Amino acid sequence: MIDFHCHLDLFPSPSEAIDEIERSGIYALSVTTTPKAFPKTAMLAHRRKRIRTALGLHPQLAHERHGEVGMFVRLLGETDYVGEIGLDGGDEFAEHLAVQKDVLDRILRACSDVGGRIMSIHSRHASAEVLDALGRHPGSGVPVLHWFSGPPAHAERAVEMGAWFSVGLPMLRSRRAAALVARLPRDRVLTETDAPFASTVGSQYPTPALKEALARLAGLWGTDDATTWRCLNNNLRTLTGTVKATYAAAR
């Protein structure tokens, strides 16, 4: 199974979560919320073949952590993955949208400068603004829109721009969100948990939520679990392969 957006460093016991990921053979993208958290979080996944660590600066923290953009740029050479980055236009964070946009633009510019990255992107109540920012930095890499909750027209625009989507159980349980997922191209979809913020019951890594997400995706697509898994697995290979090809020259 694939968990393309989880916060391993924020579990009460990251090592237990990682052991469970290993045991279940899950491919995981471990995202971070601040550049400062990256080195330690990357160490957690040291020698774990199926876990990659992404360098992030969460939009909900941008107004407090914009001083860490320089550190972000310095660390960017250490990973092929960026996240969690993006914009959050929800009521509690809308007042900070200007600083969020500035941070995101600087991050996307830095990604372009190093030839592009695979980017896990938050776009809550700000999907149009996120797509505008990606449009300003077409060389920044491949965006993977995590828990996308924008309108269908924005999803279509994102697909046209080459974006991917990571979808989790809360999305697939919502009738409206599931209808949107059903319309996405199957070769641009991955699964995620966003654990421990979502999908989790208690403090354990939520393997059952990932299984259920896969089964629900199979239901939406009218395929069986094995076929769905093969599709997701191929997608992951394509995504990682494409970006390697794109920025191999820049390294």
Judge contact between 221 and 230, C-beta under 8 A: no
One-letter amino acid of 35: P
Min dist CB 135 to Zn ion, Å, is 23
Min dist CB 70 to Zn ion, Å, is 23
Min dist CB 92 to Zn ion, Å, is 16
DSSP state letter for 162: T
Indicate the residue among 53 and 228 with the shorter CB distance to Zn ion: 53
Mapping DSSP to helix (H, G, I), strand (E, B) and coil, where does residue 84 land?
strand
Out of 194, 206, 232, 243, name the contact with Zn ion by CB under 5 A.
Answer: 194
Sole window of 35-43, 80-88, 135-143, 202-210 interacting with Zn ion (rule: CB under 5 A): 80-88
Q: Does 80 interact with Zn ion (rule: CB under 5 A)?
A: no
Please tell me the distance from the alpha carbon of residue 165 to that of residue 186, in angstroms, as a whole number: 10
One-letter amino acid of 224: D
What would the DSSP string read from start to end of 186-224? Answer: GGGEEE---TTTSS-STTS--HHHHHHHHHHHHHHHT--
Q: Does 192 interact with Zn ion (rule: CB under 5 A)?
A: no
Indicate the residue among 31 and 184 with the shorter CB distance to Zn ion: 31
Q: Does 88 interact with Zn ion (rule: CB under 5 A)?
A: no
- The residue ranges that bind Zn ion (CB under 5 A) are 84, 194
